[in-house]
Amino acid sequence: MTGTVSRRRAAAGLALVLLAVVAIVFPVVFSSPVVTNYAVYALIFVAVVTAWNMFSGFSGYISLGQAVFFGSGAYAVGIAAKAWHINGVGVFALLPLAAAVGAVIAVPFGLIALRVRRHTFIVVTIAVFFIFQLMAFNLNSFTGGTIGMSAPFLPWTPTAFNDRFYYITLACAVVAVVIAVLVRRSRAGLQLRAIRDDEDRARGLGVRTMRVKLAVFVLSATITGLVGGVWFLYLTQVLPQSGFDPLFDLSLVLMAFLGGLGTISGPIIGALIIEPGQLYLTIRYTNGYVSEILLGALFLLIVLFVPRGIVPTAGEWLRRVRTRGRPAVPPVPTAPDPDPARSGLSGGTR
């Protein structure tokens, strides 16, 4: 048993090392800016979907308002760079501000939205999302209105630009995944998963549900705000409809559901499949709606055929193969009571 666990750990460690090597040499092997562009977007979504899953996947509170933090992070960097006349690589110093803005917005957002559950929570997150999108459209002097904001110029060649953003987004993705793993293994992560199963029961066992939910919601928003800032610098522009894009949230949900909601690796797999696919379809078919129609069709297929996602379904299949032939539920070892008078069925008083 211990040997099997050690072998599994060794295999997992080896796989991680291989994955790290592949991730590091990727832009060296595939140096085309077209390919690295795909990779940068995929990594941005790996980071954001991991942050989203850290709260929504673990707790079962499906948020459709993650773009609030993403767009706000992007705008925060743009507004601050413009206001403080920051140019060149110095603009990266504003990324902590993007993270902080995400966190600050998440506190009142969470305090309101996390009081309700299920579909009501989803509706509240959508409402907050539209409030932010409308603010971006209408606060012209602040956000640039429909014209949006441009990022400061980065003095890098096109190849160096993509390569450097590849490593920056890779670092963001790694940090997001490490934080997600730590959260999952923590007491708060366990309590969030208990909340997903039965929130009222968790409260009855001493879990301070609001505090736990809010803490992880803010953490998730912090990471998303930071990545929003990186995305803005990569794209060099943010518009209200791109920073606060309703399809962004639907894509996150789709990625998590495809890979496996609430797992660590599932949403990563989902992001690595969906984001490059979506980009390819958008570039291949100039009519952008084709990719959206296919996205909708894919969502239907997932719900119908792998409702729990790739990772949990594959895990279940492997478990079934391993435990074939064993009883589903072994009986509880309860020895028959030799003295019926002692038992609760004796009818006598103690």
Residue choice 206, 284, 286, 321 for contact with other proteins (CB under 8 A): 206
3-state secondary structure of 341: helix
- The least CB distance from residue 201 to other proteins, in Å, is 4
196 contributes a contact to other proteins by CB under 8 A: yes
| Stretch 164-193: interaction string toward other proteins, x if CB under 8 A | -----------------------x--xx-x
What is the rounded distance in angstroms from the CA atom of residue 65 to the CA atom of residue 83?
27
Residue choice 8, 25, 201, 285 for contact with other proteins (CB under 8 A): 201
338 contributes a contact to other proteins by CB under 8 A: no
8 contributes a contact to other proteins by CB under 8 A: no
- The least CB distance from residue 203 to other proteins, in Å, is 4
Do residues 288 and 282 make contact, with C-beta atoms less than 8 angstroms apart? yes
- The least CB distance from residue 220 to other proteins, in Å, is 20
Do residues 159 and 32 make contact, with C-beta atoms less than 8 angstroms apart? no
The upper half-sphere exposure of residue 341, i.e. CA atoms within 13 Å in the direction of its Cβ, equals 1
328 contributes a contact to other proteins by CB under 8 A: yes
350 contributes a contact to other proteins by CB under 8 A: yes
| Stretch 257-296: interaction string toward other proteins, x if CB under 8 A | -----x----------------------------------
Task: Map 293-311 to HEC letters.
Answer: HHHHHHHHHHHHHCCCCHH
Give 221's contacts (C-beta < 8 A, 6+ positions apart). Answer: 51, 66, 68, 69, 102, 103, 105, 106, 109
3-state secondary structure of 150: strand
What is the rounded distance in angstroms from the CA atom of residue 166 to the CA atom of residue 44?
9
Which positions lie near other proteins, rule CB under 8 A? 187, 190-191, 193-194, 196-198, 200-209, 262, 328-334, 336-337, 342-350
